[in-house]
Amino acid sequence: MTESAGDGARLPDDCFALPPGVDWTPVDQALDRLRSSLRVVAGTETCPITEATGRILAEHVSARRANPPAANAAVDGYAFCWEGAARPLSLIEGRAAAGHPFAGRVRPGQAVRILTGAQIPDGADTVVLQEDCRIDAGTIDFPLPKKQGANVRPAGEDAQTGEKLFDAGHRIGAADLARLSSTGISEIRVRRALRVAVLSTGDELIAPGADGPGIPDANRPMLIALARAFGCEVVDLGIAQDDAGTVRARFDQAAREADAMITTGGASTGDEDHVSHLLNTEGTVTDWRIAVKPGRPLALGMWRGVPVFGLPGNPVAAFVCALIFVRPALALMAGAGWLAPQRFTIPAAFEKSKKPGRREYLRARLRDGRAEVFASEGSGRIGGLSWAEGLVDLPEAAAEIRPGDPVSYLPFSSFGL
């Protein structure tokens, strides 16, 4: 792979600054501001299409050749010239098969054997299905197909030479590899994968699997998996104690090795909230008080030119904030453009009296065409994340939701999961 540098300059330190007087920010405003603060930072490289699944196009791609390159048969049968075909026709020697064109010309009054995928011979324009033919002593009879060109795939019907296939920013999927191959493309210019550093902070945290007192680090395995699902390469920064020196050293490592950083814990304004404290004193931070549940403050900051997504320590809140805020931001930085999850309006299978003022995301799943929600809204209930297959998104306004009322459902697949 050939590689080029990134788009150059890093992001400005004040890119997340909130206008004066802004307090609790509604989710949509926060998303708008995030969207307008960030830009593409991922560099570009050339990649063989065999390794391109999941990669993001750095530039648009046009067809190098037409597909199909020449008209060919859509069925097994006989090729002939439709205009003035007076049956029976005389069946000529030879045949056209895929990869083995018929060398001669089919004259008016003649037909030749043809197999699916074979190039239509000169002089022919229509194919009759073999099941519709009666062959007798060198002649062939059949009911005339209604249309000239029946059972023929015209040259370029799928793609014309030079036709634009994909825009820059498109994420390459398996089907796209067929599209690219069929139009003669073996290499594409893609964005380098965004490198994302993931750090858990908290004196109480222990490695998953460790015994003794402490809280196993639930966030880092989850966030590493999310970052990978979002198409990023991960720099695992481990667990940092609630100590300015340790957190600073990890931040510096992230600034050297990554394009963005996701941290959990310590994002609030308490004495031991070192993520926001450090960003406040030595970096730049905007403590975005986003009106979202589950959430609490989200610290968005810059550390030596690298954006820091300081998520709440609570795993449920960290998961929801990663989906709602971090995913579209990383996608934008990675060159895929801002990604809004596809949402579906579904009848509720639950009842809820919602207070006004905050956007709420409930752990949910679809059963029998209705959205059911996890029995507990407790933000400590990690089990509810596993139980769920998506989120129900309730707007800021107060609402009395009853079974059958329409609600907005975001399946996890809408977040690329």
Positions in the binding site for ligand AMP (CB under 6 A)? 200, 202, 204-205, 215, 217-219, 264-268, 312-315
Which of ligand AMP, Mg ion, none sits in contact with 204, Cβ below 5 to 8 A by type? ligand AMP
Nearer to Mg ion, 43 or 265 (CB): 265
Residue nearest to ligand AMP (CB): 313
Nearer to ligand AMP, 194 or 218 (CB): 218
Q: Is 328 in the site for Mg ion (CB under 5 A)?
A: no
Closest approach of Mg ion to the CB of residue 202, in Å: 4
Nearer to ligand AMP, 126 or 219 (CB): 219
Closest approach of Mg ion to the CB of residue 417, in Å: 26
CA distance 169 to 154: 31
Neighbours of 146 (CB within 10 A): 7
Closest approach of ligand AMP to the CB of residue 242, in Å: 8
Using CB under 5 A, which of the segments 77-85, 146-154, 200-208, 373-381 binds Mg ion? 200-208
Nearer to ligand AMP, 7 or 203 (CB): 203
Nearer to Mg ion, 274 or 327 (CB): 274
Would you say 101 and 151 are in contact if contact means Cβ atoms under 8 Å apart? no
Contact mark string toward Mg ion, 298..317, x via CB under 5 A: ---------------x----
Using CB under 5 A, which of the segments 128-136, 140-148, 163-171, 198-206 binds Mg ion? 198-206
- Contacts for 151 with CB less than 8 Å, ≥ 6 apart: 73, 74, 75, 77, 126, 127, 128, 129, 145
Nearer to Mg ion, 242 or 393 (CB): 242
Closest approach of Mg ion to the CB of residue 270, in Å: 8
Among the listed residues 77, 121, 145, 202, the single contact to Mg ion using CB under 5 A: 202
Closest approach of Mg ion to the CB of residue 220, in Å: 14
What residues between 260 and 289 interact with Mg ion by CB under 5 A?
Answer: 265-266
Closest approach of ligand AMP to the CB of residue 317, in Å: 8
- Contacts for 240 with CB less than 8 Å, ≥ 6 apart: 199, 200, 201, 246, 247, 250, 274
Nearer to ligand AMP, 268 or 286 (CB): 268
Which of ligand AMP, Mg ion, none sits in contact with 71, Cβ below 5 to 8 A by type? none
Closest approach of Mg ion to the CB of residue 25, in Å: 23
Closest approach of ligand AMP to the CB of residue 383, in Å: 13
Q: Which amino acid is at 259?
A: D
Q: Is 297 in the site for Mg ion (CB under 5 A)?
A: no
User: Backbone phi, then psi, for 263, in 5-degree steps?
Assistant: -120, 155
Nearer to ligand AMP, 43 or 265 (CB): 265
Which residues form the interface with Mg ion (CB under 5 A)?
A: 202, 265-266, 313
